[in-house]
Structure 1
């Protein structure tokens, strides 16, 4: 029964570090990108192109990072990631041109893979395999406040601070808060492993649902479906505020976009309270349906404020469940043995597929308009639904 206990302290600490990690390393970028582009004398599209290249580099590095989760323990990797993220933010703030900024941004996105959801999920699986599905659900419930806090927080800071000063402040947050938390978690994981080896031998593994002869096909379908969702999520999250602004919402864009975070939290809370009998695969299908509906709802209702709020809420519901299934679906289908390596491969597929999403959507918005852009986003959602249904048939 001890393995079924939720590691409450670990979940809370990881929730805090995920809020800071996603808020400083991801959500803030769309707010600061126009100022960065202005300072370097380039268009905003090119700044997002740099982000796409950095995401691609992070995706290519992810399989090795996944191996490090299993080899060294996810806690130690997250400690290292906090230090690298802090250094990358400081160096970014000191960049004198596009070339040096591009190198720093690449470093920043690789560091993000060391501290964000993939690493946190691996740590929870390593800490308590039997309770990992519940732990991941609770963690995503807390971390869902990242966008709600950091979009308005970054916007407020930017009204009286430069983007360079904001990056230095974010570096302090990563080092002063995230690093000590990850250090404590690494110690907890090491102690847990030592106690398990002394008292009861090897920790019991969680078996996967798929039969061995169906795992290769199952993994390819799962990676494709999650990658398609990641592409859709990346495109919208980076451009949430600019997209709503382009539809004529002006200052309401940040407020409407901020509903995304509470919606994520609400979907996870509803799932936690009433969705215990739903499998991770069923949640994945529901998530894909919601993410496909959201851009179409915005297109049909624009430019009304109500449609913008509905879009942010529905997309938040879908993305909230997606964040859960990205961690629980691999565990459900393939089990806990080698989970770190598996997460590394999934993260790689997701990041590589979505690497060009920020630049692509920025280009589409500038050259094809919002209607075509939103229709294409809805189509991506339909593709992911089909892939999940194909897994369900197996």
Structure 2
């Protein structure tokens, strides 16, 4: 019986590309959005409306991307995605009109689906299905530094460069760092396949019986969509929102606690979470995020409350990223993993797409505290949905016994 090891080199390379991918394509947007609005002579709400539409369209492409990952290999899709990310960041930087800017942002979200966690998790599942859950935890541990690194970087760069110049620098990172790493992973995967020859690859069998899979897919998609809406709304506005409630220059520092909290939750999970099933992890994740949002809604500009908010949301988000990769593998197995996660990502992103715009509008019309409490209520529905997923796996296990 051979021992299958976690592919450390692949995980490390993907960790670097996830930090750059999330940092340049997602986290930096809220920092750069005010400069975009001023430069293009539109309101900040309109900028986030464009972002929301792009998230929605990006979500619609997720099943298509997932099927192609199964067909040609996830690393090949990631290599193409890095090139597309670079091109679209450059197109954003050049855009002379709102229409071209909006088109470029939409393309940016499509390319994001080709290079971020959905594709990275599929790469790890393809590589070694049996160790994929452990590899996913290690990868998210590294990727958790994306916000910690890129929120301050983007904030500092805005003092020296325009948002257009910053996006050109980000384009170079995707082209010169991410694309070569993804290409190397693709080549190493093909070389590994040739060496393995006819050896039957290990597979993971899902916990759900075939007749329970359809209901399971609906439940888990709803659960991730609801918790994803809560998280997307917060992440898109975290630093500006903390500044708006009166925390001033401390907002960036408090917001930067989110990243270390993500890493901390993944470390805790790595050491102590082995006894928790993926459905249980998902419930813990959604609960932590809701608690964080409630704390900020109740405490307002009280500094300890804001710190607790960033830490709790970071802890929940950290585990949520692991659950997005490990829960589908646990429920449905490794066969067709790309297509399955693509369908789930479509539902999650389509619902979460409205979050930045809806939350911005809610803050404008209801106030920040009420907007946070409404957001927490949606997150609570997500907790209930994850509980239903856990119950369905227990029922399926009993039926199997």
What secondary structure is seen at the aligned counterpart in 2 of 1:42?
coil
Partner of 1:116: 116
What is the RMSD of the two structures over their aligned residues, measured on CA atoms? 0.9
What secondary structure is seen at the aligned counterpart in 2 of 1:139?
helix
Deviation, 1:381, is 1.5
Partner of 1:15: 15
Equivalent pair of 2:298/2:369 in contact (CA under 8 Å): no
**Whole-angstrom CA distance in 1 between matches of 2:349 and 2:301:** 31
Deviations 1:158-205 (A, max 9, x none): 110000000000000000000000000001111222233x151x3121
What secondary structure is seen at the aligned counterpart in 2 of 1:172?
helix
Structure 1 stretches of 4+ moved >2 Å: 1-4, 192-196
Q: Superposed, which structure 2 residues align to 1:373-392 within 5 Å?
A: 373-392=371-390
Partner of 2:100: 100
Q: Superposed, which structure 2 residues align to 1:327-346 within 5 Å?
A: 327-346=325-344
Partner of 2:210: 212
**Whole-angstrom CA distance in 2 between matches of 1:302 and 1:17:** 36
Partner of 2:173: 173
Equivalent pair of 2:128/2:202 in contact (CA under 8 Å): no
What secondary structure is seen at the aligned counterpart in 2 of 1:233?
helix
- Structure 2-normalised TM-score? 0.96
- Structure 1-normalised TM-score? 0.98
What secondary structure is seen at the aligned counterpart in 2 of 1:206?
coil
What secondary structure is seen at the aligned counterpart in 2 of 1:276?
helix
Q: Assess, with a 3 A threshold, how the Cα gap between structure 1 residues 3 and 20 changes in structure 2: closer, same or farther.
A: farther
Equivalent pair of 1:3/1:128 in contact (CA under 8 Å): no
Deviations 1:265-298 (A, max 9, x none): 0000000011111111110010011011111111
For structure 2, list consecutive stretches of 5 or more residues without a partner in the other structure: 393-401
Equivalent pair of 2:18/2:146 in contact (CA under 8 Å): yes
Say which of 243, 246, 250 aligns to 2:244. 246
**Whole-angstrom CA distance in 1 between matches of 2:212 and 2:69:** 25
Is 2:72 the counterpart of 1:76? no
**Whole-angstrom CA distance in 1 between matches of 2:181 and 2:83:** 12
Counting matched residue pairs gives 392
What secondary structure is seen at the aligned counterpart in 1 of 2:202?
coil
Partner of 1:237: 235
Partner of 1:186: 186
Say which of 282, 286, 289 aligns to 1:288. 286
Deviations 1:46-103 (A, max 9, x none): 0000000101110111110000100000010000000000000001000111101000
For structure 1, list consecutive stretches of 5 or more residues without a partner in the other structure: none
Is 2:27 the counterpart of 1:27? yes
Partner of 2:4: 4
Partner of 1:157: 157
Deviation, 1:3, is 5.8
